[in-house]
Amino acid sequence: MRSVFNDAFRPKKIEALEDEVRDLAYQLIDDFIDEGHCDWVKQFAIPLPLLIIGKQMGANPDDIWQIKEWTEAFFHRISLMQSEDEELLSVRKEIEAQHYFQPIFERLRERPDDSLLSALVNTVIEEWGRPLNDNELHAEMMADTFVGGSETTTNAISAGVKLLIENPLAWEQLQSDPDRYLKVFIEEVLRLESPVQSLMRATAKDVELSGVTIPAGSLINIRFAAANRDERRFENPDALDLDRPRAGGHMAFGSGKHHCLGAPLARRELHWSFKALVDRIDTLRFAEGKNDFSYHPHYLLRAMKSLHIEFTPK
């Protein structure tokens, strides 16, 4: 199944999205630049990756906020922090999404196109001798495309602006020489904030860790966020350092056979998000009295609820 995604996210396909991602980033900022303030999460960080992945999934752009409601339902259900009643409400919303996408699956079976969703619907998985069935497609739509392909990037875009306001020296560095500092800044955002804080894994064999034996077959929670602030790996790990050597050596995208397939697209979206910010905005600050800097309760992901900022346009 991963091979289907490998093809969909191959470098040439990501490169083909470059202009679209760039233009959307500038358009979104230009929509609110004259107001001098915005909720960065709602007005930029959510729509940019959601519109990009939505188009690849055959969704109508006018349905963007409805789709966001459905992806939020899945996002909250996997938080491991919902009551039974809350979980049932989330499941009902996910079923609404299935009714929305089912006719799209059927249309693409009859008339394939060059979208990512068409590849997911029609590609025969060699080892299985068949394409994904409807149940598998619906699961992938939420987990690996809309949440994996938008929610996590939204969280990184949100966190990056918060870090820039909290670290004015970094903002000055980024403005002075974006070609030099932007790539490292993106990696530092991913390392420090770890939009995917952790995921579940099963141990393949007995393993001893710090004197504790973990039996084979145990379900364990791998904390990427902790690894990304490990002082044995990163000097001064809690600091935002735009001169950090080997800044990309973090675990924000996992590693090995579990490495995030969407990492190249996420980095492109982060690049143009912060490049547009630098190009359009001179000074940044938190909107006084409007932020509580709260995060959605979640065991696996780190998602800011809102981020109200004020700015001086260039």
Which residue has 């697209």 as its token pair? 265
Residue range of the domain that includes 297: 2-167+255-313
- Residue 28 covered by a domain: yes
- Residue 154 CA to chain centroid, in angstroms? 5
Contacts of 96 by beta carbon, 8 Å cutoff, 6+ apart: 70
- Residue 27 covered by a domain: yes
- Residue 137 covered by a domain: yes
Phi, psi dihedral angles at 299 (to 5 degrees): -85, -20
Whether this prediction's pTM lies above 0.75 is answered by yes
55, 65 Cβ separation under 8 angstroms: no
99: exposed, middle or buried (C-beta count within 10 Å: 0-12, 13-18, 19+)? exposed
- pLDDT tens sequence for the chain (314 residues): 777 777 777 778 788 889 999 999 999 999 999 999 999 999 999 999 999 999 888 888 999 999 999 999 999 999 989 999 999 999 999 999 999 999 999 999 999 998 888 988 999 988 999 999 999 999 888 888 888 889 999 999 999 999 999 999 999 999 999 999 999 999 999 999 999 999 999 999 999 999 999 999 999 999 999 999 999 999 999 999 999 999 999 999 998 888 898 899 999 999 999 999 999 999 999 999 999 999 999 999 999 999 999 999 99
In 3D, which of 116, 169, 198, 166 has the Cα closest to residue 291?
166
Per the structure, the count of domains in the chain is 1
208, 214 Cβ separation under 8 angstroms: yes
The CATH number for 11's domain is 1.10.630.10
